[in-house]
Amino acid sequence: MAEPHLSSGAAEALARLLPVLGCGEEAASLAFESLAKIGHLASDGRRALRQVAIEERVHDGLIHSLAANLPAPPEDRELRSIARRFHLDLGRSDPTALLARIAALDSAVCLVLSRLLRPGTPLSGDPAVTAVLRRIAEDEARHVRVTRRLAMARADERELQRIAAPVRERLGALLTLAGDAFETLAFDPRWLRDDIARFPAGLFRQ
């Protein structure tokens, strides 16, 4: 991939955030492979989940390639440990809960990426960075559609919201630990509480 050309502050901030995204992509690929083995799932659902698992592995590679062209991130062991535990806990769910939680998580990722790539932000003017993050955002939006459809076939809206809402709260709290990096990238840290942690009311609505 092309080498990013960011200011030193933006490059360092992005380098700090990418490991958090990277551990999520690795865990997501394993989760989707597991979901593809759900009993009584129609063949088109299995195919969709296997394709999502493949795309998550691609995302993992893209994130690592991008990170290789950025400054080495600080040894933020607490943030990485909490992020890895968050994603591992996500996978310890029955299939219905896992589908609902992934839909909630991926919808939040789409929102984070759209905010980071708003016109005029430090990342939006760099073609190498935007190509990677827009590719991930487009795929994640499709993953939301896949998982919400399959979740909605297995439980009603109220139950799915009860299951999935804590994921957004935990993600908002996790990302707040890197609030200074988000602020450097013109992402108001208040959005982590007001938008990322808040469950979107219509996510599981017909």
pLDDT tens series, the chain, 206 aa: 667 789 999 999 999 998 887 766 767 777 788 777 776 777 888 888 889 888 988 998 999 999 999 998 877 778 888 888 888 787 777 889 989 999 999 999 999 999 999 999 999 999 999 999 999 999 999 999 999 999 999 999 999 999 999 999 999 999 999 999 999 999 999 999 889 999 998 999 98
Please report, for residues 84, 93, 143, the alpha-carbon distance to residue 101 in angstroms, rounded to integers and kept in the order given: 16, 9, 12
| H-only helix segments in 117-191 | 127-152, 157-176, 179-184, 190-191
Residue type at 68 in one-letter notation = A
What local confidence, expressed as pLDDT, does residue 83 receive?
Answer: 84
Residue type at 179 in one-letter notation = G
pTM: 0.91
What local confidence, expressed as pLDDT, does residue 1 receive?
Answer: 64
* Contact status, residue 56 vs residue 25, Cβ threshold 8 Å: yes
